[in-house]
Structure 1
Amino acid sequence: MKRINLGKSGILGSEIALGCMRMDALSEKDAQTMIETAVEHGINFFDHADKYGKGESESIFANALKNTSIKREDIILQSKCGIEDRMYNFSKEHILEAVDGSLQRLKTDYLDILLLHRPDPLMEPEEIAEAFSILQNSGKVRQFGVSNFHPYQVDLVQKYISQKLIVNQLQFSIAHTGMIDFGMHVNMKDERSINHDGGVLEYSRLHDITIQAWSPFQYGFFEGVFIDNPKFPELNEKLGQLAEEKGVSKMAIATAWILKHPAKIQVIVGTMNPGRLEKIAEASNIALTRQEWYDIYFAAGNDLP
């Protein structure tokens, strides 16, 4: 499994990471199998959030991990905070309490990376700065990032904190391509020319921020997956063709399509099926050609101006 230097921080994470949002649905034994399967296939990065399963996903992960031979220092643990019931909260007190809660549930002394989960319109960047400094100086968090932020929100936080934000976790898949559509339809009077995210892809590359792609097989906002979905006949035909030619799964091709991008995007996959994870992990060994990448893009219903 290839590794990505996340935000040029020196933290080398597998280019495919396991998202643990749904781990609360597993038994500890099944969770252990998932973790071991991930590590066996070169995945060393595990993405959490205090919101996932109301904290239960982190607890099950930790209880499962202790039954493996995997050492804490050999894996990367990332968690997110800031989402409460019916509101977002980036207050200093909440950030500190949230991290302590995650550390307790994950049974670890530190997080490798902490992300602010979704932008809080009431955030006071000075408070965020205070919280980050306390967490870093105490050794509880090594590095920091954000999730679902547009460039100006990143700049606002970055202005006040002394740490460099190294990642931004954003929705991206073959069926959710706004980040690249906008860049190709500059100055065009069509739907794809609309800038929905402030040019976050180019911004991230300019500022050495690693994009983490969540929901790599989803279309819309958790409306479903496009793999083997009759709503996407041309896309599945193309994915199937390439999968057969390369001896892999459609999921691997869909993942390789994201990994092909020169931004070195890290893909967060949320499957809790070990067999499916094995098939997805094969994407790290697939080298799509430029034409194959564009053919997949066209098959998803996209076009060029």
Structure 2
Amino acid sequence: MALKCTIPGKTFLVGEYLALHGGPTLFVLSKPCFEVTETKGSGSLGSIHPDSPAGKFIADHSEYFKSIDLKFEDPYLVGGFGASTAQFLGAYAIWMHRESHLVGMEAQFDFKHLLSVYQKYAWNGEGTPPSGTDLIAQMKGSLTFFEKRKGLLSVSGWPFEDLEFYLIHTGNKVATHEHLKTLKEFDSSVLEKAAYRVQESFASVNPEELVAGVKAYAQELQDLGFTCEPTLKLLAGLRALPGVKAAKGCGALGADVLFVVTEKNQSEIIEKHCQSVNVKVIASHRTISAGLHLSEKES
């Protein structure tokens, strides 16, 4: 039997940088999904790099992984969207599926245990450690709210009937792990206030509060110097379009993905503009995905 893990792509809607302080985050998990497949073999990692967090986890559990081959499939092929954490989550889930008796069945569903294991392999002690919050989001799926500091975790759908959102890939890239090595300490209080505003907008289904919260978060990212120049130029063009309510960069320096909130039925305008500036819509409110899924099938 072959064991396959399906893991959605992830994007911070709000919460990048704030996650490093354990604050509130909101992710969207989207299709297409990454896949990690296990078959009987001789320990091949496929495209998983041995020095990646997944590769290091596998090496530490070599007694199990030496008799199987792993295959990782990345449908995005553009970097980002959580490829590295998807590899780790897939390897972890495959191991837990077979070996959960070693750590207790309840550990499969304990995000604190998962985060502690991940950080062991994802941080070498230099600079700021990764938050691991995206790993939890990929496990849970849909729109995931997670506040590590308080241990709060919830999952939502997109509740705003009169709003749409689009995720746009820029073609630019900042290596998050390298960026974190040089990141200085910063005040996250304004980011936190904006993130709570977005979170409350979901609870009250208040589209005006959502837009205001996203705008406030984007402005504070810019004020802190956490938005790169190419993204600032792209955001200015998007915000000038009719029907666009808010836009921000996502992840490290907002470099590779943009989150855009629009009025309904704006897909043609967004697509046309993206073509004109050589960027690409890669996900939207229509492609929200469930979280980690394991399935067995005949090899």
Same fold (TM over 0.5): no
Larger RCO (CA under 8 A, 6+ residues apart): 2
Measured against the shorter chain, the TM-score band is under 0.3
Higher strand fraction: Structure 1 or Structure 2? Answer: 2
